[in-house]
Amino acid sequence: MRKVIVMTAILALTACGQESNDKIQRAKAASEAAMVQAPVGHWALEITEGQRATITDTTGRLLDNGFTPYIFESGGVQHFLIGPFTTEAQAVQAQEKMKLKRKLDGIETNVIELPAAN
């Protein structure tokens, strides 16, 4: 991403006829300063087995109540998850919010730690 920003800045400066090395260096420095590391989620809520409703029905109920589920495959097994969350505490808090919503009765979850991305 940073390389794209730097190349764009260099091309913009060159196209304007301003090929000053000093301006190119300032553009590189500005792009490096603006780069922010996004937090990586390592925790999720796993929807447990035994649901009588279909995945589409459960997904609709979750979406209607502000939770976005997704399918995560690990070791050839698909997991139906909500998240990811940066911390375990955030995952537990979301689990508690789900328990308070009557329309989500019957949807059971477990807090799990996601495997590290390779």
- Digit-by-digit pLDDT tens for the chain (118 residues) are 445 454 454 545 555 554 456 655 665 555 454 444 444 668 999 988 655 667 888 888 889 999 888 888 888 888 889 988 999 999 999 999 988 888 888 888 889 998 876 5
Q: In the chain, where are the structural domains located?
A: 2-34, 43-113
At 79 the pLDDT is 85
- How many Cβ atoms from other residues are within 10 Å of residue 50's Cβ? 7
Buried (b) or exposed (e) across 79-91, using 16+ Cβ within 10 A? ebbbbbbeeeeeb
Domain 43-113 matching CATH 3.30.70: the answer reads yes
Q: How far is CA 103 from CA 32, 33, 60, 62, 116, in A?
A: 46, 45, 11, 9, 33
At 93 the pLDDT is 95
At 96 the pLDDT is 93
